[in-house]
C-alpha cells in the first residue's frame, strides 16, 4: 500500500544574488520515507533542509505541506540557556501537564541510550554531549518529518548502531545528511542527490548510489557528445554559408551561438563534476627505519573521575607496534582511546610499566580537539607559519591557495581568521596541515567528524598511498574498512582486544566469539566433513565510471600538456626575449615548470589507472 504524501515542492527555484542554487526543484516526501540527502560541499543541502522546514521561501515554484504535519530539525548550531538541564532542554518544546510518565519513558528510550544524564547542566557538557542532547531533543519530539544533519558526529559505535535501529522503526519520514556511508546505507530507502543545481531522485537506498549515479553520469556524457556533434554541424553550416544567406538566417545564427555557449558551459560543469581532488604522490618510503615503532610493556593507567572514583584505562597492557602497521582504534567514549594516543606520543606517563619508542620516531598528530589551531591565526599562517605564500607538500612546492583548493577551500579565505571557520572547515584545515608532510607515524584522532564525502574520499585515497605507520581512531565503519588492517577495540573496564582486518572483520570475529559453543562445534564438524572447501566466489571488479572517465580523458590532457611544453620551450629559445618583454619571459619560464610537473603527474596517474584496469579485468 502506497504511503501518503505529506510534503511536496514543484518546479522551485532559489538564487542568492546572481548565483542560482536550485532550478526546477521538484521532490515529494511521503510518510515513512527514509531519505539520504547527498551532494558536494556547497551544493545546497542546508538550503534544501530549510526549504523543507519552510524557513527558506522559494523564489519561484510551489511548496505544499499537509495540514498538521510537524517538521523537526537537528541542526549543526547549538543554542543553550545558562543553568538549563539536559531534561529541560530535551523536553522544552513538548512540555505538558500529566505527561510525566511519558517523559520518563522517553528518557529511558532515548536519553539514556545516548549516554546522557538528564540532570546534567547543558552549559557544562562537552561538544559531543551537546550534539547528543540535540539529537535526543529531535527524537523525543517525534515530528512527522525528521531532518538530521550529520547525526553520527561524536557518537560511539554502539550508539550509532542503536540510532540505526531507532530510525528504521521510526514512524515518520527521515531526511538525513551524513558522511557516514555505512550509516546511510543501513537507514535509507531513497536518495536525493543534489548535483549542479538540480535534484535527482532514486527510489533505492544509499547502498545503490555509486551504481545509480555512475549510470546517470554515463548517460550525460553520451548526451554531451551528441549535442557536440549537432552544434558542430550547425557551426560548419554557419562558416560555409555565403554572407547573404547568413544575413537571411539571423535567428538561426543566434540559436547556433546560444547552443554553442550552453554546450561549453555544460561541458565545463561536467568536467568539474568528474574532476578528482589531487594532493600529490606519497613517497614510497618515509623517514624512520626502526622495525619496532613503539612498545607498551605491562602498562597500567587509571584516572579519577568527577565523582572521585578511580577508573582503570589500561591494566597490564602489552603491545608492539611495528613499522607499516595500519591500526584502527574503536570503543565507547571514555574507554581510553585518546589516553592511549597520549601515552604513545609522550603527553601522559604510565602509572606502572613502560612505553618504549623508536629513537628515530617522528609523528604527525591530528587532534580531534584541534588544540593546534589558534583562533586569531589566519588560514595562511596555519599552513605557512614561517611566512610567504608557498609550502612543501609531500616534497613539492605548492602555492597555499592551490593547496587549499585541494581541500575544498575558496582561496578567498586564505586571510580569514581560524576562529571564524565552521567545524568542517577547521577539520579540513587541520588535515591539510598534517597531510602536507606526514611523518613516519601518522596518528588521526576522529578525522572524519564534520567532513563531507568528497574530502572523505580524498582522505581515504591519501591514506591508501601512505607508506608509514598509521593509527586511526574513528567510529566511521566504512572508513575503517578502507584504511586499516588491524583493529584495537577498547571494550571498557581496561579490556582491550586486538583483531586482524578492518571493521567488518572485527564484527565477524566478535560474532564468532560470542556464538554458543554448540554452534561452533557444529560449524567445525561441518568443515571436517567437506573433502575440499568450496573455492571463494570471485567478484568481478571494474573501474567506477568516474575513474574510467578520468582514464579515457588523460591521453588528451597529456597530449595538450606536451604541446604546451613544446610551445613554451620554443618561446624561451629566443635569447632576446628577456630584454624585449620581461613579463612574457617570467610567465613562460614559470608556467613551463608547472606544466612539466602536471605532465609528470598525469602520466603517473595514467599508469596507475591502467594498472587498476588490468587488475580488475584479471580478477
Name the pLDDT band for 1 (thresholds 50, 70, 90): very low
Neighbours of 284 (CB within 10 A): 7
Could you tell me where the DSSP H helices lie in 208-281?
A: 209-240, 243-248, 250-274
Q: Which residues contact 120 (CB under 8 A, 6 or more apart)?
A: 85, 86, 129
Amino acid 344: pLDDT: 92
**Greatest mean pLDDT range, 75-79, 121-125, 575-579, 582-586:** 121-125
Q: How many helices (H) and strands (E) does the chain have?
A: 20, 20
Name the pLDDT band for 309 (thresholds 50, 70, 90): confident
Distance CA 145, CA 53 (A): 9
- Average pLDDT over every residue of 126-149: 87
Name the pLDDT band for 592 (thresholds 50, 70, 90): confident
Between 167 and 131, residue with greater pLDDT? 167
Bridge partners of 327, per DSSP, are 471, 486
Amino acid 130: pLDDT: 85
Distance CA 332, CA 489 (A): 9
Strand order through the sheet with 60-65: 19-30, 5-16, 60-65
Amino acid 443: pLDDT: 93
Name the pLDDT band for 601 (thresholds 50, 70, 90): confident
Distance CA 104, CA 53 (A): 28
**Greatest mean pLDDT range, 102-106, 231-235, 571-575:** 571-575
Q: What is the pLDDT of residues 283-294, one digit of tens each?
A: 544 555 578 899
Closest CA to 589 of 576, 575, 572: 572
Bridge partners of 477, per DSSP, are none
Name the pLDDT band for 184 (thresholds 50, 70, 90): very high
Amino acid 530: pLDDT: 45
The H or E element spanning position 596 is helix 582-618
Q: What is the pLDDT of residues 38-56, one digit of tens each?
A: 987 778 888 999 999 999 9
Amino acid 531: pLDDT: 43
Beta strands 19-30 and 71-74 are: unpaired
Residues in the chain: 619
Amino acid 526: pLDDT: 53
Q: Which residues contact 472 (CB under 8 A, 6 or more apart)?
A: 326, 327, 328, 329, 444, 447, 463, 479, 480, 483, 484
- Average pLDDT over every residue of 332-338: 81
Query: C-alpha 395: how far from its chain's center?
Result: 25
Closest CA to 85 of 133, 14, 43: 133
Query: Considering the chain, what is the average pLDDT of its residues?
Result: 82
Name the pLDDT band for 99 (thresholds 50, 70, 90): low
Amino acid 574: pLDDT: 78
Amino acid 191: pLDDT: 95
Place of cell 572483520: 505
- Average pLDDT over every residue of 327-331: 91
pTM exceeding 0.85: no
Q: Taking the C-alpha atoms of 279, 42, 472 and 166 in order, what is their torsion angle to the nearest 10 degrees?
A: -160
Instruction: Determine contact, residues 543/614, Cβ cutoff 8 Å.
Output: no
Checking if the pLDDT of 618 tops 70, the result is no
Beta strands 5-16 and 19-30 are: antiparallel
Phi, psi (rounded to 5 degrees) for 170: -65, 135
- Average pLDDT over every residue of 104-114: 82
Angle, CA 427 vertex, CA 284 and CA 75 arms, to 5°: 145
258-270 as b/e, with b when 16 or more CB fall inside 10 Å? Answer: eebeebeebeeeb
Burial class (CB in 10 A: 0-12, 13-18, 19+), 51: buried
Name the pLDDT band for 91 (thresholds 50, 70, 90): confident
Between 285 and 467, residue with greater pLDDT? 467
Amino acid 371: pLDDT: 78
Between 145 and 545, residue with greater pLDDT? 145
Closest CA to 421 of 431, 433, 409: 409
Amino acid 366: pLDDT: 87
Amino acid 521: pLDDT: 52
- Average pLDDT over every residue of 270-285: 55
Phi, psi (rounded to 5 degrees) for 387: 95, 175
Checking if the pLDDT of 381 tops 70, the result is yes
Neighbours of 90 (CB within 10 A): 27
Checking if the pLDDT of 525 tops 50, the result is no
Percent of the chain's residues with pLDDT above 70: 84
Checking if the pLDDT of 589 tops 90, the result is no
Distance CA 92, CA 85 (A): 10
Distance CA 596, CA 578 (A): 21
DSSP readout, 457-489? Answer: HHHHHHHHH--SEEEEE---HHHHHHH-SEEEE
Neighbours of 531 (CB within 10 A): 5
Closest CA to 62 of 11, 15, 103: 11
Amino acid at each position: 500500500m502506497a504511503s501518503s504524501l505529506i510534503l511536496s515542492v514543484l518546479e522551485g527555484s532559489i538564487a542568492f544574488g546572481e548565483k542560482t542554487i536550485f532550478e526546477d526543484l521538484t521532490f515529494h516526501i511521503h510518510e515513512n520515507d527514509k531519505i539520504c540527502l547527498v551532494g558536494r560541499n556547497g551544493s545546497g543541502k542546508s538550503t534544501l533542509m530549510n526549504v523543507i522546514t519552510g524557513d527558506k521561501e522559494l523564489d519561484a515554484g510551489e511548496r505544499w505541506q499537509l495540514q498538521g504535519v510537524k517538521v523537526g530539525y537537528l541542526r549543526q548550531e547549538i543554542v543553550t540557556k545558562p543553568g538549563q538541564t539536559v531534561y529541560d532542554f530535551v523536553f522544552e518544546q513538548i512540555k505538558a501537564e500529566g505527561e510525566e510518565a511519558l517523559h520518563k519513558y522517553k528518557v529511558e528510550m532515548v536519553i539514556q541510550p545516548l549516554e546522557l544524564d538528564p540532570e546534567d547542566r547543558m552549559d557544562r557538557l562537552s561538544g559531543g554531549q551537546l550534539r547528543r542532547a540535540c539529537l535526543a531533543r529531535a527524537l523525543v519530539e517525534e515530528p512527522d518529518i525528521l531532518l538530521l544533519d550529520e547525526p553520527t558526529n561524536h557518537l560511539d559505535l554502539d550508539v550509532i548502531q542503536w540510532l540505526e535501529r531507532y530510525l528504521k522503526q521510526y514512524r515518520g519520514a527521515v531526511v538525513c545528511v551524513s558522511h557516514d556511508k555505512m550509516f546511510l546505507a543501513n537507514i535509507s530507502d531513497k536518495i536525493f542527490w543534489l548535483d549542479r543545481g538540480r535534484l535527482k531522485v532514486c527510489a533505492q537506498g544509499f547502498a545503490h548510489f555509486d551504481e545509480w549515479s555512475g549510470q546517470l553520469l554515463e548517460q550525460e556524457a553520451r548526451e554531451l557528445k551528441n549535442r557536440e556533434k549537432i552544434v558542430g554541424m550547425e557551426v560548419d553550416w554557419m562558416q560555409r554559408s555565403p554572407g547573404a544567406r547568413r544575413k537571411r538566417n539571423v535567428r538561426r545564427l543566434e540559436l547556433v551561438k546560444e547552443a554553442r555557449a550552453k554546450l561549453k558551459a555544460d561541458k565545463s560543469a561536467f568536467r568539474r563534476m568528474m574532476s578528482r581532488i589531487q594532493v600529490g604522490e606519497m613517497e614510497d618510503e618515509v623517514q624512520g627505519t626502526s622495525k619496532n615503532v613503539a612498545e607498551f610493556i605491562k602498562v597500567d593507567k587509571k584516572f579519577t573521575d568527577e565523582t572521585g572514583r578511580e577508573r582503570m584505562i589500561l591494566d597490564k597492557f602489552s603491545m608492539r607496534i611495528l613499522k607499516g602497521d595500519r591500526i584502527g582504534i574503536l570503543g565507547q567514549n571514555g574507554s581510553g582511546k585518546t589516553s592511549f594516543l597520549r601515552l604513545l606520543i609522550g603527553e601522559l606517563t604510565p602509572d606502572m610499566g613502560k612505553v618504549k619508542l623508536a629513537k628515530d620516531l617522528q609523528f604527525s598528530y591530528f587532534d580531534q580537539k584541534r588544540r593546534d589551531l589558534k583562533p586569531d591565526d589566519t588560514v595562511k599562517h596555519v599552513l605557512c607559519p614561517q611566512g610567504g605564500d608557498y609550502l612543501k607538500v609531500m616534497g613539492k612546492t605548492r602555492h597555499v591557495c592551490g593547496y587549499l583548493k585541494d581541500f575544498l577551500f575558496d582561496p578567498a579565505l586564505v586571510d580569514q581568521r581560524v576562529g571564524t571557520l565552521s567545524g568542517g572547515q577547521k577539520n579540513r584545515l587541520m588535515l591539510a596541515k598534517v597531510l602536507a608532510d606526514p611523518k613516519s607515524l601518522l596518528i588521526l584522532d576522529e578525522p572524519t567528524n564534520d567532513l563531507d564525502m568528497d574530502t572523505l574520499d580524498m582522505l581515504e585515497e591519501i591514506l591508501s598511498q601512505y607508506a608509514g605507520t598509521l593509527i586511526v581512531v574513528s567510529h566511521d565503519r566504512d572508513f575503517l574498512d578502507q584504511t586499516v588492517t588491524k583493529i584495537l577495540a577498547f571494550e571498557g573496564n581496561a579490556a582491550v582486544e586486538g583483531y586482524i582486518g578492518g571493521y567488518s572483520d572485527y564484527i565477524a570475529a566478535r560474532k564468532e566469539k560470542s556464538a554458543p559453543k554448540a554452534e561452533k562445534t557444529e560449524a567445525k564438524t561441518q568443515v571436517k566433513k567437506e573433502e575440499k572447501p568450496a573455492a571463494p566466489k570471485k567478484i568481478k571488479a571494474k573501474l567506477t565510471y568516474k575513474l574510467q572517465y578520468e582514464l579515457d580523458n588523460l591521453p588528451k590532457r597529456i597530449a595538450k600538456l606536451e604541446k604546451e611544453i613544446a610551445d613554451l620551450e620554443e618561446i624561451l629559445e629566443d635569447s632576446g626575449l628577456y630584454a624585449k618583454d620581461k613579463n612574457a619571459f617570467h610567465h613562460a619560464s614559470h608556467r613551463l615548470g608547472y606544466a612539466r610537473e602536471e605532465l609528470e603527474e598525469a602520466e603517473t596517474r595514467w599508469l596507475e589507472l591502467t594498472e587498476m584496469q588490468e587488475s580488475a579485468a584479471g580478477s
